[in-house]
Amino acid sequence: MAKWHAFFAIRPVGLSLLFVFSALTFAEQSQAADALFQLSIEVNENDPRLCLFVVTAVEERLWTTLKTADEEQFQRVLSLRRESQTDDKLPAMLGRYQIKDQRLEFKPAFPLVRGSRYQAVFDPAALKLTTNKTEQRLRKTYAIPLPDSKPPRVTAVYPSSKRLPANHLKFYIQFSEPMQQGEIFEHFSLFNKTQQQLVPRPFRHTELWSPDGKQLTLWFHPGRQKVGVNLNVELGAILNEGQEYDLRISPKWAALSGHPLGKEVKKIFTAVAMDERQPDIHKWNLNQPTAGTREPLIYELDEPLDYALLLSQLTLKDINAKPVPGKIELAENETVWRFIPDQPWQAGWYQLAVGTVIEDLAGNSLDRPFAIDLTKQQTPSKSVDGSYTMVFSIE
């Protein structure tokens, strides 16, 4: 990591300096030879979004106090905030504190954002590290300029259907590049077009991202979608049958590059009747291709199913249990599953395994329904060892 240091005096000399290092900008306060603490930023030379914010104490007695502090005390003594023109004090960023090599280190939980300014603050008074009445908080600002690139785009929202059950559970939102993570829910809203008002508290505030940061799983709050559960009783259901909605994504949400979306994105849909029945695999229809061709193997489903699970829970193998190389395509609002082989089909027997965790849009799986009425006697779930396997031949 590249490393720059600034020493801060307990008695400031009133000198303000601005240092610019290539694409990195640091605003420093003051320097003095008798500084009791050092606040520094260590930047990854290959990625300026990755930083460590480091505090060291030049006197052993002060360092001893730091070493005995806990996580909550660290948060009071050293914090990092994103500067905002509209909000005087945004929440401190999440991250990991650790004592390492005679230093207190703070590593942000997420990469910093290009085009944004951050301020790190070290407050020795928070731990009573010194009795000097003239002591001041130590500050450093850090900024990364925007790259010369295009704004991000929402490339797809699943389910693709414009008709969703009133007990629908989740969306998969795909982007052209990795997006900013952490505190994202201010960028989402659900608007009831029929009633001309926003739906209060519709989302489960849990971020589920793909490893590449380009797909977000956005959940409606399950407690609002289960009839009779506390939130459902207190706030009502999120969706009402027969009413039209907009899922809205703010134009201000930015990618890791720092560029915002720039325009509002909407997923428009109508809520239809609740879906309380499990998918029935016996109603699905398999269409076999012809040997010697690369025609798709087509599985026609009896209803739209979960986009991500359709990609992960259907596995095609030959009769010797060897995976068949190929790619999966979904069609007709996720009611059709297609498999296109990399090589022409060989005549013979194949097996297609379908995981029992596969779900419809309301969370009902092959194994069990999403919502269970405890007042009624339940039929035990079928034991299928985690999957159904269909054996078929290609001629």
Which one, of 277, 301, 302, lies nearest residue 165 by Cα? 277
State pLDDT tens for residues 311-339: 999 999 999 999 999 999 999 999 999 99
CA-to-CA separations, 203 to 190, 238, 261, 350, in angstroms, rounded: 9, 9, 21, 42
Q: What is the pLDDT of residues 87-136, one digit of tens each?
A: 556 788 899 998 887 788 999 998 888 778 888 998 877 777 655 555 56
**pLDDT-based confidence at residue 33 (cuts at 50, 70, 90):** very low
Residue that wins the pLDDT comparison between 15 and 158: 158
pLDDT of residue 232: 55
Say yes or no to pLDDT of 19 above 50. no
Mean pLDDT within 306-314 = 97
pLDDT value for 111: 87
pLDDT for res 5? 38
Cβ contact 110:80 at 8 Å: no
Percent of the chain surpassing pLDDT 90: 50
Domain with residues 154-272, CATH architecture: Sandwich (2.60)
Tokens at 248, concatenated: 């809205």
More confident of the two residues 236 and 373: 236
Whether residue 57 contacts residue 63, with contact meaning beta carbons closer than 8 Å, is answered with: yes
CB 297 within 8 A of CB 286: yes
Residue 28 has φ and ψ, to the nearest 5°, of -110, 155
Residue 286's pLDDT is 96
DSSP string, 192-241: ETTTTEEPSS-B----EE-TTS-EEEEEBPHHHHSTTSHHHHHH--S--T
Q: Is the pLDDT of residue 383 over 50?
A: no
- Asked if the model's pLDDT at residue 381 lies above 70, the reply is no
Residue 210 has pLDDT above 90, yes or no: yes
Confidence of residue 256 (pLDDT cuts 50, 70, 90): confident
Domain boundaries, the chain: 2-143, 154-272, 281-394
Stretch 218-235: mean pLDDT, rounded? 68
**pLDDT at residue 302 above 80?**
yes
Q: Indicate whether 391 pLDDT > 80.
A: yes
Residue 382: pLDDT band (50, 70, 90) is very low
**pLDDT number for residue 297:** 97
Tell me, yes or no, if the two domains 154-272 and 281-394 fold the same way.
Answer: yes
Domain 281-394: give its CATH architecture. Sandwich (2.60)
Residues 26 and 10 sit within 8 Å (Cβ to Cβ): no
**Cα separation, 305 vs 363, whole angstroms:** 9
The C-alpha atoms of residue 40 and residue 22 are separated, in whole angstroms, by 17
Rounded mean pLDDT, 268-278: 95
- pTM given for the model: 0.66
57/33: higher pLDDT: 57
